[in-house]
């Protein structure tokens, strides 16, 4: 049986791969959406934080012999701590200014981080082995799926849904959302809003780092890995609607699938299909698919 | 009568102008200015990049930093893998900085664009890092010299070896720009001539972040050989994903442009047994080893063939400048075209009318981890492809300068 001239097995395989890529998009755009939604900062340093997460994993394995599972915990903590420093020393001065300033600042930070890592490690990149427990592949009949990729989908969906639940369905999330709507009032109720905002940025940074660790075994760890991905992720956030958490998760997965299919039918367009969709969405719904018109 | 006198006067004037000026203008701007435009920060920057510029400085230092008392200056710029940036910088340097020689690094698209500028400005242009054979074929120019390697040589080396070893049916994974297209095309020609077939191909964008989808397509083609018509980070990620998805169990990989930095990054465990063609290898003989160890002290990694080529191109250009006592483009080019090239990069090399620097190429096989005796000891030289046999032949060329 064929779908548009492609055997159904191959078709299913490509859909599954699209889902794997979509999981990365979802996780990264989720962090961006959280930061934008709650801080109003367009965090261009997100790709760099993702890259640093992967490097933390690699360095902790090479220098200290700490395995993948430790790295999954360690990298978000280290990068989250960096997020705290960035927010306390730089970003907090910008909240009252035009979002453009935050964009420029974080873009500059990303370039600096990339430059430092390029100088230290070169661009050919480092290898990170797939952890033993997840090595090997499963034959699904229509394709051979490496176990690690299946884990990536599982881990990323868990994290995405967990974050969504935390922000949209818990008391803490309610404080967070309220704090961004009307900080003075929430402060009056005895909630420490500045600390909450700082931790939000740290969590966003930590999510990027976690995605970096998840990506480390499947791609070459290079200083450029963030910038190769970040533009697409931004497009995902724009399509989903800036600041919409559920929107960024669903759009991330959907665009991964669409991109995967483009790679089958017209590979040359696979690097631009996301942007074409972005243009169309912006024309029809300027606030994004899940965004609220203001 | 009057006319005769006038023309005689004109002839004299012209002769005076031509005859007199060189006495004080053998060297434009009183300095020898070399420009190097390459990928300094992107996916190809380890293969050439800052270390390539450093190799050129080694050549300049070997000549004492000056030729005939004229200082040698090196300008370096990053083209970011963008043809328009490369061409714009080349034009700026030639118009405003009095550039004497342009050396082109990696990226065929950028180099084809720079070649046009050099031809227009009549300045020598030596391409080291880019691979497209079009530089000395359809788009050849009297001002372009293609130095280290090209897609035809890679195709003839690896393509022939793989078909001979039984790899008859091919599927190509190709970087979607000038270089990838040229490499696929040249390899397909060699494969077909050797009795093989091309089953299909898929194009991927430059610096693709994910190759799994393309590899699945390759796998379903049922070809024996997966030809990787890409380079640098793209080749590395493709090989990595091919291992992960078990593509390597059903297909053999043929890396059509693989540099030693890629092997270093991937490790011998993943790459052992792979065939590749390169223009130079640091661990060939005592001379290459000695030069490479000097390089290693600066960078803590061994030089790629491109970095050795950067060194050699600079050295040969400056030697030609010294021989003719001028940095005049046409004089230096004429000297380069008639001089044999003998240095750490090439032995008995010469520059053909189409601009191709003809020298031996090497078919290599990646060692197993057990065979490798020290870091960066990665290759066995399986075959030396001698001189003319490696390159485009006179029968095949479309270059008008070599007809």
Q: How much is the pLDDT for A1?
A: 54
Disruptive mutation site among A219, A267, A269, A271 for chain B (greatest number of B CBs within 10 Å): A267
Residues of A in contact with B208 (CB under 8 A): 271
Measured in whole angstroms, the distance separating CA A188 from the mean position of its chain's CA atoms is: 34
Chain A: nearest CA to B222, how far in angstroms?
A: 13
Please indicate if any CB of chain B lies within 8 Å of the CB of A225. yes
When pLDDT is cut at 50, 70 and 90, the band that residue A135 belongs to is confident
Name A7's bridge partners.
A2
Q: How much is the pLDDT for A87?
A: 95
Q: Is residue A88 part of a domain?
A: yes
* B positions 356-395 inside 8 Å of A (CB): none
CB contact under 8 A, B216 and A229: no
Task: Report pLDDT digits (tens) over B352-394.
Answer: 999 999 999 999 999 999 999 999 999 999 999 998 889 999 9
When pLDDT is cut at 50, 70 and 90, the band that residue B270 belongs to is confident
Q: How much is the pLDDT for A264?
A: 83
Distances from the Cα of A159 to the Cαs of A203, A243, B226, in angstroms?
A: 12, 17, 37
Q: How much is the pLDDT for B22?
A: 41
Please indicate if any CB of chain A lies within 8 Å of the CB of B236. yes
CATH number of the domain within which A172 lies? 1.10.3470
The structure tokens 């993943």 sit at: B270
Least confident of A184-198, B23-37, B283-297, B309-323: B23-37
How many CA atoms lie less than 13 Å away from B207 in the CB half-sphere? 18
Q: Is residue A35 part of a domain?
A: yes
Calculate mean pLDDT across residues A120-133. 85
Strand pairing of A2-3 and A6-7? antiparallel
Q: Is residue A291 part of a domain?
A: no
Minimal-distance CA residue of chain B relative to A122: B46
φ and ψ at B371, to 5 degrees?
-75, -25
Q: What is the pTM of this model?
A: 0.81
> Distance between CA atoms of B194 and B168, rounded to whole angstroms?
9
Please indicate if any CB of chain A lies within 8 Å of the CB of B19. no
CB contact under 8 A, A123 and B176: no
Minimal-distance CA residue of chain A relative to B238: A219
Q: Is residue A294 part of a domain?
A: no
Task: Report pLDDT digits (tens) over A136-181.
Answer: 888 887 778 889 999 999 999 999 999 999 988 999 888 888 887 7
Chain A: nearest CA to B215, how far in angstroms?
A: 10
Strand pairing of B361-366 and B275-278? antiparallel
Please indicate if any CB of chain A lies within 8 Å of the CB of B348. no
Our count of domains for chain A comes to 1
Chain B: nearest CA to A216, how far in angstroms?
A: 12
Q: How much is the pLDDT for A4?
A: 66
Q: How much is the pLDDT for B15?
A: 47
Q: How much is the pLDDT for A177?
A: 83
CB contact under 8 A, B244 and A148: yes
Q: How much is the pLDDT for A191?
A: 86
pLDDT of B23 over the 80 cut: no
CB B198 within 8 A of CB B172: yes
Of the partner residues A17, A124, A130, the one whose CB lies closest to the CB of residue B213: A17
Calculate mean pLDDT across residues A215-236. 89
φ and ψ at A83, to 5 degrees?
-60, -40
More confident site: B196 or A266 = B196
Please indicate if any CB of chain B lies within 8 Å of the CB of A268. yes
CB contact under 8 A, A267 and B203: yes
CB contact under 8 A, A220 and B245: no
Residues of B in contact with A224 (CB under 8 A): 42-43, 207, 233
pLDDT of B220 over the 90 cut: no
Disruptive mutation site among B46, B216, B219, B299 for chain A (greatest number of A CBs within 10 Å): B216
When pLDDT is cut at 50, 70 and 90, the band that residue B1 belongs to is very low
**Residue A264 is part of which domain span?**
2-284
CB B70 within 8 A of CB B128: no
> Distance between CA atoms of A74 and B32, rounded to whole angstroms?
53
The residues near B185 (Cβ < 8 Å, ≥ 6 apart) are B151
When pLDDT is cut at 50, 70 and 90, the band that residue B26 belongs to is confident
Residues of B in contact with A5 (CB under 8 A): none
Q: Is residue A86 part of a domain?
A: yes
More confident site: A1 or B23 = A1
> Distance between CA atoms of B238 and A178, rounded to whole angstroms?
47
Q: Is residue A290 part of a domain?
A: no
Task: Report pLDDT digits (tens) over B291-318.
Answer: 999 999 998 899 999 999 999 999 999 9
Of the partner residues B49, B213, B265, the one whose CB lies closest to the CB of residue A125: B265
Task: Report pLDDT digits (tens) over A65-113.
Answer: 999 999 999 999 999 999 999 999 999 898 888 888 999 999 999 999 9
Task: Report pLDDT digits (tens) over B62-84.
Answer: 999 999 999 999 999 999 899 99
Disruptive mutation site among A17, A20, A124, A272 for chain B (greatest number of B CBs within 10 Å): A124
Calculate mean pLDDT across residues B220-247. 90
How many CA atoms lie less than 13 Å away from B224 in the CB half-sphere? 10
When pLDDT is cut at 50, 70 and 90, the band that residue B4 belongs to is low
Q: How much is the pLDDT for B8?
A: 53
Q: By percentage, how much of chain B surpasses pLDDT 70?
A: 94
Share the mean pLDDT of chain B: 91
- How many other β-carbons are positioned within 10 Å of the β-carbon of residue B96? 8
Q: Is residue A179 part of a domain?
A: yes
When pLDDT is cut at 50, 70 and 90, the band that residue B93 belongs to is very high
Chain A: nearest CA to B401, how far in angstroms?
A: 35
Q: Considering only the C-alpha atoms of chain A, give the largest distance between any 2 of them, rounded to a whole number of Å.
A: 65
Q: Is residue A289 part of a domain?
A: no
Residues of A in contact with B369 (CB under 8 A): none
Strand pairing of A144-146 and A137-139? antiparallel
Task: Report pLDDT digits (tens) over B169-210.
Answer: 999 999 998 899 999 999 999 999 999 999 999 999 888 878
Share the mean pLDDT of chain A: 89
Residues of B in contact with A18 (CB under 8 A): 213
Least confident of A52-56, A289-293, B373-377: A289-293
Strand pairing of B225-229 and B169-175? parallel
Of the partner residues A13, A124, A228, the one whose CB lies closest to the CB of residue B207: A228
């Amino acid at each position: 049986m064929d779908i548009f001239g492609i055997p159904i097995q191959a078709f299913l395989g490509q859909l599954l791969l699209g889902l794997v890529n979509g999981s990365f998009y979802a996780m990264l755009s989720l962090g961006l959406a959280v930061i934008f939604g709650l801080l109003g900062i367009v965090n261009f340093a997100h790709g760099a934080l993702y890259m640093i997460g992967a490097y933390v994993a690699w360095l902790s394995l090479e220098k200290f012999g700490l395995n993948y599972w430790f790295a999954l915990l360690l990298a978000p903590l280290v990068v989250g701590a960096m997020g705290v420093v960035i927010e306390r020393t730089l970003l907090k001065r910008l909240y009252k200014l035009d979002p453009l300033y935050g964009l420029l600042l974080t873009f500059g930070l990303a370039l600096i981080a990339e430059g430092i890592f390029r100088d230290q490690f070169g661009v050919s990149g480092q290898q990170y082995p797939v952890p033993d427990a997840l090595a090997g592949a499963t034959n699904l009949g229509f394709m051979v799926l490496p176990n690690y990729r299946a884990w990536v989908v599982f881990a990323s969906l868990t994290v995405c849904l967990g974050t969504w639940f935390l922000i949209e369905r818990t008391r803490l999330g309610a404080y967070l959302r309220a704090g961004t709507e009307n900080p003075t009032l929430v402060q009056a109720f005895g909630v420490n809003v500045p600390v909450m905002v700082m931790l939000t940025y740290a969590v966003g940074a930590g999510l990027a780092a976690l995605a970096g660790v998840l990506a480390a075994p499947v791609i070459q760890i290079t200083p450029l890995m963030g910038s190769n991905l970040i533009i697409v992720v931004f497009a995902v956030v724009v399509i989903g609607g800036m600041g919409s958490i559920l929107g960024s998760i669903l759009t991330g997965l959907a665009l991964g699938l669409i991109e995967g299919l483009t790679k089958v039918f017209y590979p040359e367009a696979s690097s631009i299909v996301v942007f074409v969709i972005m243009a169309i969405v912006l024309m029809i719904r300027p606030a994004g698919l899940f965004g609220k018109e203001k | 009568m009057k006319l005769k006198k006038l023309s005689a006067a004109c002839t004299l004037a012209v002769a005076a102008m031509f005859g007199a000026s060189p006495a004080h203008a053998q060297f434009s701007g009183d300095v020898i200015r070399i420009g190097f435009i390459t990928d300094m920060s992107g996916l190809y920057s380890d293969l050439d990049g800052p270390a390539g510029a450093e190799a050129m400085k080694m050549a300049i230092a070997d000549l004492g930093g000056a030729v005939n008392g004229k200082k040698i200056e090196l300008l370096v710029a990053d083209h970011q893998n963008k043809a328009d940036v490369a061409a714009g910088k080349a034009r700026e340097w030639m118009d405003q900085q009095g550039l004497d020689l342009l050396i082109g690094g990696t990226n065929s698209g950028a180099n084809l664009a720079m070649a046009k500028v050099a031809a227009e400005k009549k300045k020598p242009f030596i391409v080291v890092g880019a691979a497209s054979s079009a530089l000395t074929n359809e788009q050849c120019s009297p001002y372009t010299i293609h130095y280290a390697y090209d897609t035809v040589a890679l195709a003839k080396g690896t393509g022939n070896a793989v078909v001979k070893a039984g790899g008859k049916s091919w599927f190509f994974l190709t970087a979607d720009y000038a270089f990838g297209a040229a490499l696929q095309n040249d390899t397909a020609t060699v494969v077909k001539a050797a009795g093989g077939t091309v089953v299909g191909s898929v194009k991927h964008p430059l610096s693709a972040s994910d190759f799994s989808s393309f590899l699945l397509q390759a796998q379903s083609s049922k070809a024996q050989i997966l030809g990787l018509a890409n380079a640098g980070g793209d080749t590395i990620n493709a090989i990595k994903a091919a291992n992960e998805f078990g593509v390597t169990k059903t297909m053999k990989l043929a890396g059509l442009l693989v540099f030693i930095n890629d092997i270093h990054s991937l490790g011998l465990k993943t790459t052992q047994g792979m065939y590749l063609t390169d223009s130079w290898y640091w661990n060939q003989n005592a001379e290459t080893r000695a030069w490479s160890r000097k390089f290693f002290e600066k960078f803590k990694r061994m030089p790629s063939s491109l970095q050795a080529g950067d060194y050699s191109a600079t050295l040969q250009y400056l030697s030609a400048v010294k021989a003719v006592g001028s940095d005049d483009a046409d004089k230096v080019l004429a000297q380069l075209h008639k001089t044999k090239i003998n240095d750490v990069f090439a032995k008995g090399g010469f520059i053909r009318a189409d601009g191709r620097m003809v020298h031996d190429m090497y078919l290599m096989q990646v060692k197993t981890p057990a065979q490798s005796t020290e870091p960066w000891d990665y290759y066995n030289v399986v075959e030396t492809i001698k001189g003319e046999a490696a390159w485009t032949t006179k029968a095949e060329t479309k270059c008008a300068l070599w007809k």
